[in-house]
Structure 1
């Protein structure tokens, strides 16, 4: 491995005292960090990296995307990949891994199956260094190494707003979500949501009703299914209208509760602004808003839902300084200005 050899060349001699070894470890750690910073800065092309290899690395979820790209500069084919193990990865990256022992042969077989499933679905795998990868998503902490995308990938690089809210909204909340989504999409802004029941589904429907911009649904499961299944018809409409279904999870990944807050970081990462339409206390939409704020993004609430019986969470956001939005057109200058400045 190239980087590993460079590190060995930097420290070729042995017989160090404990103090010297400590300095050596810090020095190697700094070299690795410099390499990871380089990866973040230049985002090296992976066009020549075989798809199976990229898909295999997608399943190494305990590594950051920068660590995976760094490894892929030195791992070129199936033979290299199968020679890897947890110990080799730890040695190369110079840190301990809190992960189960790896069956690299099984992972490679899964990657080859993933290719067949993507072909059947007409889906793509978009890697973090690819030009189609959402630019704002790449900036977040723990950005996904890659995304499985069904549908038109053009929307991934267009200005967007993320709309979230409760699965059990009031009639006012449903009406407001669909109206604000339509008004925003009318201005050419992509609507991103999670295709859940309630506010999410209404937001997607508003964008579809507009027809002027696509809508993106971020799934908490693999690309071969839609959750909830009751929104399968909505997912089909999203695809028919030029939108896409997106997930970081490979085919066959089970639907577990912890995947929902993980999915929320992607929802927040897609856009400069997250709009919480209607959300009670402890709503998952508030997790998305919290992540957005932690990433330096803006959070707004729907003015017409303030004070509703299902909106105590969004009411609290308003009290903390979130902007109250009355119409979709109010979002446009903020979103387009920030997006064009990337």
Structure 2
């Protein structure tokens, strides 16, 4: 279906819902049933011609050569946040892997012709997000996208790049090494909804932007003129109920007209990384509350060690440091990251308690 002209994400999702997630049944359905499911006459005729003589081998060959795989709405790997987007893609082509922890994500976008100021701010924010365990989402474009991806990787964090072309092409060509690094070092993924062979057409990028925002709890516009496509990503974020952040810029600089305008319209002004982290914490909590809150398992023995101290009652940061034998600055840093992950809750000034849905037993059983 993804290869049939006239069957876009909305119609594909409608088929998925109508046929109760059974796309094989949709493929074999009679024409009248397909019309009832939402296909128009023209799309139906195109599909029926395609169904008579489908030649999928070249497509699968391209996917295999790109070391990619297909992920559908029914797959566990399909991102939780993107699943909530009404017009989200029913199918993704992915190089690399997307993990549940990537739900804690910030999108960073902006102009391809960034100033020195914009590039430095992007570097600082992406580095801070990586240190806090936040996945950085961007579009692999020149300028701010590139710096956001590179800085997250340099800080040991995860990053996901969303393309507006087929998974068998890496665009722009100068970022092939960056894309390869993201995948081969196991620190993220390259994602697209477009089938192999799709060129990077200008008309693809507005649709690509909704995936960038859909993968994220919030979108940061670092630097953007009024005509920037990054503002479309901000609008997509608003439509999806995501947070929108913006970096204030020089009021005489055309490069900052878009971001300054966003702030005037209500985007959260960002002066430091903590401004973003506080909002993401609240969004993360809301997300966990909306979902059928799954048990959260700590990632390391060090996290378990701290959680065991605060499992029964709130404990002050100083006492956690004393009982764990760890320096207070290390404990403070770990608590910030663990709070973002949903492992701990702040219940007073410098007081922490383990979140009720943490499963310590599962971690111990995995050892």
Contact 1:133–1:156 (CA<8 Å) still a contact in 2? no
Equivalent residues in 2 for 1:259-278, closer than 5 Å: 259-278=204-223
- Displacement of 1:75 in angstroms is 5.4
Change (3 A) 1:309 1:93: closer
1:37 aligned partner:
none
Contact 1:58–1:145 (CA<8 Å) still a contact in 2? no
- Which string of whole-angstrom CA distances, capped at 9 and with x for unpartnered residues, describes residues 143-195 of structure 1? 10011110122267431000000011111111111111111111000000001
1:235 equivalent to 2:190? Answer no
Change (3 A) 1:150 1:276: same
Q: 2:51 aligns with which of 94, 105, 117?
A: 105
Contact 2:159–2:188 (CA<8 Å) still a contact in 1? yes
Change (3 A) 1:203 1:151: same
Cα distance in 2 between the residues matched to 1:291 and 1:94? 24
Where do 5+ consecutive residues of structure 1 fail to align?
1-53
- Which string of whole-angstrom CA distances, capped at 9 and with x for unpartnered residues, describes residues 20-42 of structure 1? xxxxxxxxxxxxxxxxxxxxxxx
Cα distance in 1 between the residues matched to 2:5 and 2:72? 9
Equivalent residues in 2 for 1:1-342, closer than 5 Å: 60-61=7-8, 63-71=11-19, 73=21, 76=24, 81=27, 85=31, 88-90=33-35, 92-93=36-37, 96-97=40-41, 99=43, 101-102=46-47, 103-105=49-51, 108-110=54-56, 112-154=57-99, 157-211=102-156, 213-241=157-185, 242-303=187-248, 308-342=253-287
Contact 1:178–1:204 (CA<8 Å) still a contact in 2? no
Contact 2:5–2:46 (CA<8 Å) still a contact in 1? no
CA RMSD of aligned residues (A): 2.7
Contact 1:55–1:114 (CA<8 Å) still a contact in 2? no
Cα distance in 2 between the residues matched to 1:75 and 1:133? 16
Please say which of residues 190-199 and 94-103 is displaced more in the overlay: 94-103
Cα distance in 1 between the residues matched to 2:118 and 2:138? 15
May I ask how many residue pairs the two structures share in their alignment? 283
Change (3 A) 1:95 1:121: closer
3-state DSSP class of the match of 2:118?
A: helix
Change (3 A) 1:279 1:72: same
Contact 2:223–2:249 (CA<8 Å) still a contact in 1? no
Cα distance in 2 between the residues matched to 1:84 and 1:255? 34
Change (3 A) 1:57 1:328: farther
Cα distance in 1 between the residues matched to 2:153 and 2:266? 31
- Displacement of 1:260 in angstroms is 0.6
Cα distance in 2 between the residues matched to 1:198 and 1:285? 12
Change (3 A) 1:131 1:73: closer
- Displacement of 1:304 in angstroms is 5.7
Cα distance in 2 between the residues matched to 1:255 and 1:180? 28
Cα distance in 1 between the residues matched to 2:71 and 2:207? 18
Normalised TM-score (structure 1) = 0.75
Structure 1 runs, 4 residues or longer, greater than 6 Å off:
54-59
2:307 aligned partner:
none
